[in-house]
Structure 1
Amino acid sequence: MKLTNSRGKRSRMSLALVSLLVAGTAVFSNSPASAQTSSKGWTKLFDGKTLNGWKRVAGEASYEVKDGTIVGTAVMNTPNTFLITEKEYGDFVLELDVMLESDQSNSGVQTRSHYDPSGNNGKCRVYGRQVEFDPSARAWSGGIYDEARRGWLYPLTLNPKAQQAFKVGEYNRVRIESIGNETKTWINGVPTAYVVDTLDDKGFIGLQVHSVSSAEQAGKKVYFKDIRIKTKDLKPTPFPAGVYVVNNVPNTLTDYETQHGWKLLFDGKSTKGWKGAYKTAFPEKGWQVQDGMLTVLPAGGGESTNGGDIVTTDKYSAFDLSFDFKLTPGANSGVKYFVTLSEHNPGSAIGLEYQVLDDKLHPDAKMGRDGNRTLASLYDLITADKQERFLRPIGEWNKGRVVVYPDNKVEHYLNGVKVLEYTRGAEEYRALVANSKYKDWENFGEAPEGHILLQDHGNKVSFRSIKLKEL
């Protein structure tokens, strides 16, 4: 039937088409990747035609507008290049579509960021939190990186279920909520990262083309379109249960963490919940609570010769344990788990140990086998597979994490990156124990439950933000 046969027929057909379009729009709006498609309260940051309101800084990669899209092109031997807003933003919800044409590319969106005009030999240096787009095999897209400052805050090893959300060679819908101290991200509707941070209450938004150093990477393109922001009447979108939160506010829990079972093992003010190993009370000397830190005081480097180890009053079986620690030069300590206190041995109490150590200055790092006494290792059993670039310097806070699943699988993390895993009681595990200093302890590390322990090794080491969720 032709639409022009008669006025009546065209009107009826037009109404039918409109009805179909409306129905189709309703279906699209209910899809997870297109949440909140209403234009109410949203402002376009990109007009689809020009780069008005934006400026390029820090590098020589190019940005141009083609077919309603901002196209960034990588250039060899130039620093990371950013297209940043001329306006700064505090609280906001940002949505945009992003496409990387190749797994050789890398990009990101800066949030509440800044730049130093004198950095990079006068070309300026951009710094601040960045939502990463990483199409490599590592697959950390949607994670949060602190550009030119602290490094990774939320690598996607913390949320492996979200690692496959980003698709190379097609547009991905990205949502970023920066409300108060909380930043949350979504990729194609998948909840991805959750960071609580006190730095930067406002700053610019920036699009990144990453630096490249090979001809294969040069010329690779990144595409941005449909960029919009909302800054008023903001309501945080809830995350589902099971997403790990990187909380950089010391000794606190978010409402989300509390709701989903996390509790503080150290309140930042007292020794409540702790006692000396093999003691009925907290040690009278050797430990200090001050400025929100639980600190073991120096005593010449001897093992448990001052205040001695401290343990939680409660015992735990399957759990997710996180803690911040700060080493002094040459210091040694540890966080032990499944400590039963049944051995009544001299020195430090027996248990599986997340090693806390200055690898460069303490001699224990060169003992054991193949580095299995270094930082974040399962002490004397399994070496932590870690890269120097993910470590914070001695004197700064690092984040440790131990996850023990109900099936006895165990994981160690350092600053959000998984560095080892094993299974308690497995044949491989028992073979390692048989060739270690623990070989004489029957069923070492296989107790159904035990205390958490902080070690006194005679060096000054501080702890804070010790939190645990039972699994």
Structure 2
Amino acid sequence: MKASHFLFFILLLCICIPASAQEAKMKKIFNGKNLKGWVEPANKACWTVSDGVLLVKNEPAKKGAILWTEKSYQNFIFQADFMMGDGTVDSGIFLRSENDQIQIGISGSLKRDLTGSPYIPKLRYPVEATGVKDLLKPKDWNTLKIKVIGNTYTAYLNGQEVMTYSSADMPPSGPLGIQLHPGNEMSISYRKIMAVAL
């Protein structure tokens, strides 16, 4: 092997191995049997577990809720499969607090699908995810991956990067949350919910 080829090979290893190692450390934070490791909200009936799937469905009063992890995270990767169900699906993943959320489904304010976009109460949608219309499978399982380093987060939908944003008011540490938006008659399913601290 020529010296130049050997150096190129070593460089590839340096680039590729850390990323692979991070992915290999992904751990299940949902065991598929119950809500162990999560802080159950008051309206427990909205969150049911069966055959490895978490079904999130609004109750008749449509009060909504957030299912938070017991564990807090600083820098991390979160990944989960989701499948939209009945009604007007408006859900998402909260990152360390209720300030920063990655939207899944229809925006209640803009009345259109903004999956993969960040929602911040003061700013609404500061940027919009791109390419989602071609990637999203409305009646099948989708994979959402979110990487958070400091106050910058990147969202990937079905393996493709769709958004990167830096948040000014993001806390340095906090739990992860799955949202059930109030006011909607809706359901959404989640499975293979995983995370890893970086």
Asked if these proteins are the same fold (TM beyond 0.5), I'd say yes
- The 8 Å contact of residues 60 and 79 in structure 1, kept in 2 or not, is answered as no
Could you tell me how far apart the structure 1 residues matched to 2:140 and 2:72 are?
29
Taking structure 1 as reference, are residues 91 and 225 closer, same or farther at Cα in structure 2, changes over 3 Å only?
same
Where does structure 2 lack aligned partners over 5 or more consecutive residues? 1-18
Take 2:20 and 2:43, find their aligned partners in 1: how far apart are those partners? Answer: 35
Q: Structure 2 CA distance, aligned partners of 1:202 and 1:97?
A: 24
Report whether the alignment pairs 1:109 with 2:83: no
TM-score w.r.t. the length of structure 1 is: 0.35
1:99 correspondence with 2:83: yes
Give deviations 1:351-375, integer Å, cap 9, x for gaps. xxxxxxxxxxxxxxxxxxxxxxxxx
Give 2:70's aligned amino acid: E
Q: Percent identity between the aligned chains?
A: 24
Are 2:112 and 1:138 equivalent residues in the alignment? yes
Q: Which of these residues, 116, 120, 124, is aligned with residue 152 of structure 1?
A: 124
1:71-470 correspondence runs (5 A): 71-102=55-86, 104-113=88-97, 127-135=98-106, 138-146=112-120, 149-156=121-128, 159-199=129-169, 200-212=171-183, 217=185, 220-232=186-198
Helix, strand or coil for the counterpart of 1:201?
coil
> Is the alpha carbon distance of 1:46 and 1:130 closer, same or farther for their aligned partners in structure 2, counting shifts above 3 Å?
same
How many residues are treated as equivalent by the alignment? 176
The answer on whether the counterparts of 1:142 and 1:187 sit within 8 Å (CA) in structure 2 is yes
Root-mean-square deviation (CA, aligned residues, Å) is: 2.5
Cα 1:36–1:107 shift into 2, 3 Å: farther
Kept in 1, the 8 Å contact 2:127–2:165? The answer is no
Pick 1 or 2: higher relative contact order, CA cutoff 8 A, min separation 6: 2
Higher strand fraction (1 or 2)? 2
Q: Which protein is bigger by CA-based radius of gyration?
A: 1
- Relative to 1, partners in 2 of residues 1:102 and 1:167: Cα closer, same or farther, differing over 3 Å? farther
CA contact (8 A) 2:130 2:163 kept: no
What is the CA deviation profile of residues 88-138 of structure 1, one whole-angstrom value per residue up to 9, with x for unaligned ones?
11100111101111352211111111xxxxxxxxxxxxx221110115772
Give the letter for the 2:145 counterpart. Answer: R
Residues 153 and 195 of structure 1 are in contact (CA less than 8 Å); yes or no, is this contact kept in structure 2? Answer: no
Query: What amino acid is aligned across from residue 189 of structure 2 in structure 1?
Result: Y
Report the Cα offset of residue 43 of structure 1: 1.6
Spell out, residue by residue over 1:162-189, the C-alpha distance to the aligned partner (whole angstroms, 9 max, x if none): 3442222211100001111211101112
Question: 2 CA distance for matches of 1:150 and 1:75?
Answer: 28
Secondary structure of 2:131's partner? Answer: helix
Q: Is the 8 A contact 2:152 2:167 kept in 1?
A: yes
Structure 1 stretch displaced more, 160-169 or 99-108? 160-169
SS of residue in 1 equivalent to 2:49 = strand
**2:41 aligned with 1:69, yes or no?**
no
In 2, Cα distance between equivalents of 1:37 and 1:133: 28
Code of the aligned partner of 2:168: T
**Aligned partners of 1:182, 1:128: CA distance in 2, in Å?**
13
Whole-angstrom distance in 1 between the partners of 2:36 and 2:43: 19
